[in-house]
Amino acid sequence: DTAVSQTPKYLVTQMGNDKSIKCEQNLGHDTMYWYKQDSKKFLKIMFSYNNKELIINETVPNRFSPKSPDKAHLNLHINSLELGDSAVYFCASSQVGTDGVGELFFGEGSRLTVL
Amino acid sequence: GEDVEQSLFLSVREGDSSVINCTYTDSSSTYLYWYKQEPGAGLQLLTYIFSNMDMKQDQRLTVLLNKKDKHLSLRIADTQTGDSAIYFCAPNTGGFKTIFGAGTRLFVKA
């Protein structure tokens, strides 16, 4: 029944490794996002896809590559992991209604720790 | 660029009212949301206000918007221990970009 699900929930890895986080939503939404939350809880948008098309690409190192195989899935691949990549990564989805309101539905987060 | 600022911490006693304040920089923000994050969980929408409104009441929640000063506040009446969480003010310009800051950690003392 989970609306937005991310895997894995926890990821511990060494510097220099490559890792992926997967996200799936069963809400039928057209738009999906990746947000990064740092240790001070600051939440920053990274990417957004609308119907598999990249529409938001914030200033993120190109070691981060999102991929959307279909509108229900948005994965995040990170190459050459660095210590500063340690954070909680949240996937979210939304569907803007006729009233213009586009509530974000968040997954539970994936905590990445780079050693 | 867009920015959102909130006080990092707020501590209240159970039964008191809590007021969480927020200032934002993007004057084109059309919708202004409040999200709640409980420990170890994702964010959930609490309430929102449209930019042409000054106030919105939703049960124990009251949202006030001063568009001229780009100031938003969330008042929680009769605060309960279950309200302890991080609260995020999140303006949206009407497109796909919702901006968050670091949130306000609300501690409710029994």
Written in H, E and C, the secondary structure of B8-63 is CEEEEECCCCEEEEEEECCCCCCEEEEEEECCCCCEEEEEEEECCCCEEEECCEEE
Kindly report which listed range (A3-12, A42-51, B12-21, B73-82) carries the lowest average pLDDT score. A42-51
B32 has pLDDT over 90: yes
Question: Residue B24: what pLDDT?
Answer: 94
**Beta-strand pair A19-25/A4-7:** antiparallel
Question: What are A8's two structure tokens?
Answer: 């894995």
Question: Residue B66: what pLDDT?
Answer: 95
Sign of CA pseudo-dihedral A23, A64, A30, A73: negative
Closest residue in B to A39 (Cα–Cα): B102
Question: Residue B94: what pLDDT?
Answer: 66
Question: What are A108's two structure tokens?
Answer: 């539970």
High-pLDDT (> 70) share of chain A, %: 99
Average pLDDT over residues B36-54: 94
**Beta-strand pair B55-58/B43-50:** unpaired
What are the residues of chain A with a beta carbon less than 8 Å away from any beta carbon of chain B? 4, 31, 33, 35, 40-45, 48, 50, 55-56, 90, 92, 94, 96, 100-104, 106-109
Q: Which residues contact A28 (CB under 8 A, 6 or more apart)?
A: A72, A95
Question: Residue B84: what pLDDT?
Answer: 97
d(CA A87, CA A24): 20
B49-63 pLDDT, tens digit per residue, is 999 999 999 999 999
A14-56 pLDDT, tens digit per residue, is 999 999 999 999 999 999 999 999 999 999 999 999 988 998 8
A43 contacts B88? CB cut-off 8 A: yes
Chain B neighbors of A96, CB-CB under 8 A: 96
A84-93 pLDDT, tens digit per residue, is 999 999 999 9
Question: Residue B97: what pLDDT?
Answer: 86
Question: Residue A68: what pLDDT?
Answer: 94
Question: Residue A99: what pLDDT?
Answer: 72
B53 and chain A in contact, CB less than 8 A: no
Question: Residue A97: what pLDDT?
Answer: 77
Query: Across chain B, what does the average pLDDT equal?
Result: 93
Average pLDDT over residues B21-46: 92
Residue type (1 letter), A104 = L
Question: Residue B1: what pLDDT?
Answer: 58
Question: Residue B93: what pLDDT?
Answer: 76
B28 has pLDDT over 90: no
